Amino acid sequence: MNGTLVNGIAIVLGSIIGIVLKSGFIKAKSKAIMGALGLSTLIIGFQGVISYPNVLLLIVSLASGVLIGEFLKLEEHINRFAYSLEKRFAKGNDNSFAQGFVSASILFGVGAMAIVGSLESGLRQNETILYTKSLLDFISSIVFASTYGWGVLFSAFVIILYQGSITVLSTFVAPIMTDLMITDISAVGSALIIAIGLNMLEMTKLKLANFLPAIVVMIVLSYGMTLI
């Protein structure tokens, strides 16, 4: 849970800075900062994958997972849901609080990093991904809050509840999972983190949500391997 709490605090602090400064300089330099964080995200992802021994299992999980995601159109549905929320609650400039709250909650919560990081926190007590996400959200919240104000700050409580729930649930599941299964799941997570880094650096435009079923596929395959 430490990673989620740090994430929430980072959003609160970033929002306060954005509200106080309202600096155009921050907006101008945000792309460069995000590039540096994108590179850091790539490094973290590669560290988790490079020592993983069962590459074939990883490839099968990713390929099968993205096919399922494409078939279910997960990315499209999530984007449509996000758009409907913004359209419903964020109407015009006179409601910047709602617009900031909804937009920031979606930005910080809907993504592979939130899910994978929370799973890593619960299954392996590894907070690295969530700490990295905290840095990303810190920068983003400064930029968002300088435009939308206090609504961005209150999105922190949504993120704490959302990511905390995933972490707690995965903690209950952890005792029935073998170390090998946890390693397998973490490998898929690391691969998704690489994809996030590539998108952040604008090297690819991968539909990350469509890759999320790969985690479920890996759980099934990994469990099946224990029965053989």
CB 221 within 8 A of CB 88: no
pLDDT at 22 (0 to 100): 72
Q: What is the pLDDT of residue 189?
A: 85
What is the C-alpha separation between 98 and 105, in angstroms, rounded? 10
Cα-based angle 158, 162, 166 (whole degrees, multiple of 5):
165
10 Å CB burial of residue 18 (0-12, 13-18, 19+) is: buried
Taking only the tens place, the pLDDT of each residue in 12-42 is 999 999 888 876 656 667 677 778 878 888 9
Of 65-69, 113-117, 168-172, 196-200, where does the model show the most confidence? 65-69
pLDDT of residue 81: 76
Residues 45-72 have pLDDT tens digits of 898 888 899 999 999 999 999 999 999 9
Helix/strand/coil for 52? coil
- pLDDT tier at 148 (50, 70, 90 boundaries)? confident
**Cα distance between residue 148 and residue 96, in whole Å:** 5
0.85 exceeded by pTM: no
Q: How many residues are listed for the chain in this entry?
A: 228
Closest CA to 198 of 39, 32, 34: 39
Q: SS in 3 state form for the chain?
A: CHHHHHHHHHHHHHHHHHHHHCCHHHHHHHHHHHHHHHHHHHHHHHHHHCCCCCHHHHHHHHHHHHHHHHHHCHHHHHHHHHHHHHHHHCCCHHHHHHHHHHHHHHHHHCCHHHHHHHHHHHHHCCCHHHHHHHHHHHHHHHHHHHHHCHHHHHHHHHHHHHHHHHHHHHHHHHHHCCHHHHHHHHHHHHHHHHHHHHHHCCCCCCCHHHHCHHHHHHHHHHHHHHHC
Amino acid 64: pLDDT = 97
pLDDT at position 31 is 74
Task: Tell me what pLDDT residue 192 has.
Answer: 87
Show me where the domains of the chain are located. 2-227
- Closest by CA to 167, choosing from 41, 11, 4, is 4
Tokens of 83: 């758009």
Give 73's pLDDT tier (boundaries 50, 70, 90): very high
